[in-house]
Structure 1
């Protein structure tokens, strides 16, 4: 293995395995005369070189290749891959690359008819025979790699959509402005022109018939399926925008001029050139008046653009109102809600509530009548009840026990026969203390 000695720049990506000398020697060699001899060999080389060509085109953001120079793009250690020529022929036969002249000549032809005739039948006739020849000559002239061109065209369309602030104001764009905004998408002017042609064929843009630098381009909207033709109103809006941009540039230049004239006036005064200073100051004043006039015009143009944009917003609002009103109307119709039905329902609710109130009143009045007519004392002797209550009360009072009472009947039966405890000490009894307690016990 050794490092690559190719002539390509260091930042250009090379195919995988480019540093493998043994593998590159095999891939650089020519195809066998017939695919039937070794289909695996043919398919490997076809896949490798087609992928390498696509990778290089996408990296360089170019959708056009020169048939005679493609092999030289992959020069390695002084060798040029012989197999590339046959790979290009096979890509042309399959419609993966087409001649640029054939692609451009199809502007007036239908996209489908051109695709069938130019991409399939025409290449099939010469490429099918050429691919089985022993010595295949390289394709001559520029060829378009359709897959890469389609990616660049889609990126251009997306770049425009991202720059749109108002559909009413940004429907159209001039070629120069679009080209500058898409520099990062496509660096090759020829490829960019062809990408616009591809978008035109697929009905995604409309282009005025003029040289590229004077062309006006209208893109398809994000929610549209096909672009509409350019109208005079849209042309007028585009002119309005360009005039506004031009006025801004003029005002910026005049401001720079006034600053410069102000400095020149000061220098003339320092040098004592009063007459020159006066003349320079007069020019400065004229520039300031010009700035005022242009700013007033710019304000008017800005107001007109705001009104156009507001008109678009108002239209969207009205359409939203119409859609909402239609949806609400249909919903009410589906549910059967009308002013008459609601009024009828509310009347029924009121009647039911009044009926419920009457029922509650009737139940309350019935309860009161029952309380008055039905007595719990019916069939019971009231005097007997009073006598029984008095008897229970007397029994409770006779059995009530008060602590410390001298009532013998209230004491337990065991203590009833014992004498009463005296309330005072006996007269002349000796004092009983802790000291003479043993003597008393002994006696």
Structure 2
């Protein structure tokens, strides 16, 4: 029993019902006329079987790592003892109506040129439009495998040490995806799907090798294969070759060292000297090839840095354009700012003039000036001095305001009583 088969597969009672025919009437008479129209006899039974086989077909495509199949393949997958599902054709017709299943020929018509179109049409004429051998494609499986392929790329390749992980050879990617995709046909279809969604594009090097370039989500530019990407592949190949040669030379260095020590222990200095010379030569070759490897790695970093610098420059340009647009939208410009500041200075000057005008004295309010006022004030002072110099009688010295004369005892007593009354009051 395959791992992708559902739990009900071991239940004979349930499976006997699920393997049976879906009861559907396809015609009825109306006014002595036969009208062909599909009508479900038992909707609950129909829905249960349709849901079961739809899910089983999907899980089988994922489990077999292949989105391409035909009816014969499904019959082999779902054979149970001596029985096969009796309603696979009904299920597939329903999946076709829903758009979940199309023919491989239809897919190639959408994603190939005239040559591919001619091949698919020739195959259709030779084998008929629909048969048990017709190759079908399960689109939900294609979408699922596309997401899993992107996951592999993000986890294993995006953060390469040489900073050019978005460029991968077709062969390397297929090898990494073999645990989810078993055939190159399905792999190509998945790549077509990812190309439709803008996640990957396919190109070729000068030697005709197929190369994949994945979308850099840090950039808004659409994914496009360039000559620089082909150069990245060539540089990587050279680096892989150098790395392999370095490993071989390091093994030789180790081997020569062991042989040199063995000859010294045996007392054969001539051979030991020969092995030592070969070891030195191999060590020099290792150093030279390592230097070449580092130069190629530097070139890859420079290619990546150039791309990053381009993205940074575009960001600067976008930011500058946005800033200018904001200033224009707000009506701000250097000329308007200078004009406004000049208006402010002029307004302040006018305000100062107004304050000075308000605080100044009224010039024509009186015909007298300061000199005349001072002269009149001096005249008034002179007159006051003359009045003070006039002879006045002396003030009386007694308490009753009388002139000095002899005070009688009765008057003195009267004055004392008057003083007491004043104090009482």
Q: Shared fold (TM-score greater than 0.5)? A: yes
| 2:135 corresponds to 1:145 | no
| Conserved? CA contact 1:63–1:191, under 8 Å | yes
Q: Deviations over 1:55-105 (max 9, x none)?
A: 2222343213353232332344x2433325434652575354345466557
State the distance in 1 between where 2:344 and 2:40 align.
Answer: 94
1:317 aligned to 306, 312, 316, which one?
A: 312
Structure 2: give runs of 5+ residues left out of the alignment: 27-38, 362-425
1:53 aligned to 47, 54, 57, which one?
A: 57
| Conserved? CA contact 2:260–2:276, under 8 Å | yes
| Aligned counterparts, 1:384-399, within 5 A | none
Partner of 1:385: none
State the distance in 1 between where 2:227 and 2:110 align.
Answer: 28
Question: For residues 20 and 294 of structure 1, do their structure 2 counterparts lie closer, same or farther at Cα, with a shift above 3 Å needed?
Answer: same
Higher relative contact order (CA 8 A, sep 6+): 1
- The Cα shift of 1:152 comes to 1.3
Question: For residues 318 and 204 of structure 1, do their structure 2 counterparts lie closer, same or farther at Cα, with a shift above 3 Å needed?
Answer: closer
| 2:327 corresponds to 1:332 | yes
What is the SS of the residue equivalent to 1:17?
A: helix
What is the SS of the residue equivalent to 2:288?
A: helix
| Aligned counterparts, 1:152-301, within 5 A | 152-157=145-150, 159-160=152-153, 163-165=157-159, 169-199=164-194, 205-208=200-203, 214-222=209-217, 227-228=223-224, 230-301=225-296
Q: Deviations over 1:274-302 (max 9, x none)?
A: 33332322222111111111122122222
- The Cα shift of 1:203 comes to 6.7
State the distance in 2 between where 1:105 and 1:339 align.
Answer: 60
| 2:20 corresponds to 1:29 | yes
What is the SS of the residue equivalent to 1:207?
A: strand
Question: For residues 271 and 363 of structure 1, do their structure 2 counterparts lie closer, same or farther at Cα, with a shift above 3 Å needed?
Answer: farther
| 2:70 corresponds to 1:69 | no
- The more displaced of 350-359 and 50-59 is 350-359
| Conserved? CA contact 1:176–1:213, under 8 Å | no
State the distance in 2 between where 1:169 and 1:37 align.
Answer: 57
| 2:86 corresponds to 1:86 | no
| Conserved? CA contact 1:28–1:83, under 8 Å | yes
- The more displaced of 81-90 and 239-248 is 81-90
Question: For residues 154 and 319 of structure 1, do their structure 2 counterparts lie closer, same or farther at Cα, with a shift above 3 Å needed?
Answer: same
Q: Deviations over 1:358-405 (max 9, x none)?
A: 999999999xxxxxxxxxxxxxxxxxxxxxxxxxxxxxxxxxxxxxxx
| Conserved? CA contact 2:167–2:233, under 8 Å | yes
Q: Deviations over 1:192-250 (max 9, x none)?
A: 2332344456675443579x99422334554668644x433331232123222332333
- The Cα shift of 1:161 comes to 5.4
- The more displaced of 305-314 and 351-360 is 351-360
Question: For residues 126 and 343 of structure 1, do their structure 2 counterparts lie closer, same or farther at Cα, with a shift above 3 Å needed?
Answer: closer
TM-score, with length taken from structure 2: 0.64
State the distance in 1 between where 2:335 and 2:107 align.
Answer: 69
| Conserved? CA contact 1:71–1:80, under 8 Å | no
| Conserved? CA contact 1:172–1:216, under 8 Å | yes
What is the SS of the residue equivalent to 1:68?
A: helix
- The Cα shift of 1:26 comes to 0.9
State the distance in 2 between where 1:263 and 1:104 align.
Answer: 60
Structure 1: give runs of 5+ residues left out of the alignment: 1-6, 128-137, 367-443
What is the SS of the residue equivalent to 1:270?
A: helix
State the distance in 1 between where 2:336 and 2:251 align.
Answer: 75
State the distance in 1 between where 2:325 and 2:221 align.
Answer: 29
State the distance in 2 between where 1:346 and 1:203 align.
Answer: 53
| 2:305 corresponds to 1:302 | no
- The Cα shift of 1:23 comes to 1.8
